[in-house]
Amino acid sequence: MTKNRENDNACNLDVFNNFESFFDISHDLFCIAGYDGYFKRINPAVSKLLGYTNEELFANPINYFVYKNDQEKTTTARNELRSQIPLFDFENRYLTKSGQIVWLSWTSIPIEDEQIIYAVAKNITHKKELEKERKLHLKQLTEINQEFKKLSYSTAHDLRSPVNNILTILELIDTSDIKNEETLEFINILKATTDTLKENLNEHFKFLNDKNQNPNTPLEEITLSATLNEVLASINSLIQNSQATISIDFSRIDKINFNKTYLKSIFLNLITNSIKYAKPNTLSNISIHSEITNSATQLIISDNGIGFDLEKVKDKVFGLHQTFNDHADSSGIGLYLVHNHVTNLGGQITLDSKLNEGSTFTITFKD
């Protein structure tokens, strides 16, 4: 019996020693605080983080080390602990001896009989800095988007007048006296193109007005082939002059739920980019087709153009004002718009490309 007790005592001593070691070497902040608001015991991580000696930490009330703006809520939390309400994931700021602010996340358990509180804290300063940086980026992005909306609204509004003037002039032209068939064809193409431009501007203007009144982008069932045909008609002259070949296959799926204005912009930007960035002395060959992959609807647009060196451009491809060649018409806005149209409605867009081997954009629509 005596030997068993000795073994139990030795075992308890080992457990106690292990606890002491764990308490001392932990990178988390371990504290035992009294109901009187003072530290009773702390591990080395506390003094290491706050920069005070143990004597200074024991001599002052805990609130002395808490950042001024968080002292009131810390006092309220401590009062709740005294009422036997445990504390989980309580965040507050402490001020180090050097004046640096650190964020701590606390888990605290009160022990009524002993009038003490066991507490463990994690240093979450890095996490808070990341959150702050993220909020700053979101704020900047929101401001950029607001400016871009204003610019789009102003541009759409200002362009309608000259387009209407062109249409008026075309209506005044008496084509009955024009005998040259080629000239008549050019006038008809010009009128059709201007009509389409007017329609697109009206749609865009209406969309911007609706967007200002209702921030949720309207969705509707859209036919891919019909929407694409509208876009192709509006750039018919560009396609003919470039002698680009466009192959289309929507046999897998031809209807999606999306925003029509967004989809027309996606088609317009990706097709005109394919023509604009064709390889020298090579006719542009563009493939547009739909797929269903893992139950997700996809739109895939490929070309045989100059492509991208993805090792160099990496994630900058869809950035605003990012240009990767010296083409006179490069503005770095087209792909930014395409990316925004897709991601704003919960979709994804990826790029597969090699320099001088063309590009493939895969758009996966949200279910």
The arithmetic mean of pLDDT across residues 209-238, rounded, is: 80
The answer to which of 111-125, 158-172, 200-214, 248-262 has the lowest mean pLDDT is 200-214
Q: Rg of the chain's alpha carbons, rounded to an integer?
A: 34
For the four alpha carbons of 275, 276, 278 and 283, in that order, the dihedral sign comes to positive
CATH 3.30.450.20 fits domain 2-123: yes
Residues 12-53 pLDDT 10s: 445 445 557 767 888 899 999 999 999 999 999 999 999 999
- Asked whether residue 307 carries a pLDDT value surpassing 50, the answer given is yes
For tokens 């804290």, the residue is 121
Considering the chain, tell me which residue range(s) the CATH 3.30.450.20 domain(s) occupy: 2-123
How would residue 10 be classed by pLDDT, with cut points 50, 70 and 90? very low
Percent of the chain with pLDDT over 90: 46
For the four alpha carbons of 97, 101, 103 and 106, in that order, the dihedral sign comes to positive
Q: What is the DSSP string of 143-186?
A: HHHHHHHHHHHHHHHHHHHHHHHHHHHHHH--GGG---HHHHHH
- Asked whether residue 184 carries a pLDDT value surpassing 90, the answer given is no
- CATH architecture for the domain at 217-367: 2-Layer Sandwich (3.30)
The arithmetic mean of pLDDT across residues 101-125, rounded, is: 94
Give the residue from 180, 268, 257 showing the smallest Cα distance to 220: 257
The arithmetic mean of pLDDT across residues 322-326, rounded, is: 65
> Residue 338: helix, strand or coil by DSSP?
helix
CB atoms within 10 A of CB 228: 21
The arithmetic mean of pLDDT across residues 103-125, rounded, is: 94
Report helix angle 181-213 to 260-276, nearest 10: 130
Distances from the Cα of 237 to the Cα of 73, 194, 199, 245, angstroms: 68, 12, 18, 13
Give the residue from 166, 187, 167 showing the smallest Cα distance to 175: 187
Considering the chain, tell me which residue range(s) the CATH 3.30.565.10 domain(s) occupy: 217-367
Checking phi first, is residue 159 left (phi over 0); if not, alpha (psi -120 to 50) or beta? alpha
Tokens representing residue 140 in the block:
């900047």
At residue 171, the pLDDT reads 80
At residue 138, the pLDDT reads 85
At residue 234, the pLDDT reads 79
How would residue 165 be classed by pLDDT, with cut points 50, 70 and 90? confident
31-60 per-residue burial string, b: 16 or more CB within 10 A, e: under 16: bbbeeebebeebbebbbebbebeeeebeee
> How many contiguous H segments (helices) and E segments (strands) does the chain have?
11, 12
Residues 186-221 pLDDT 10s: 888 888 888 877 777 777 666 666 655 555 677 899
Q: Average pLDDT of the chain?
A: 84
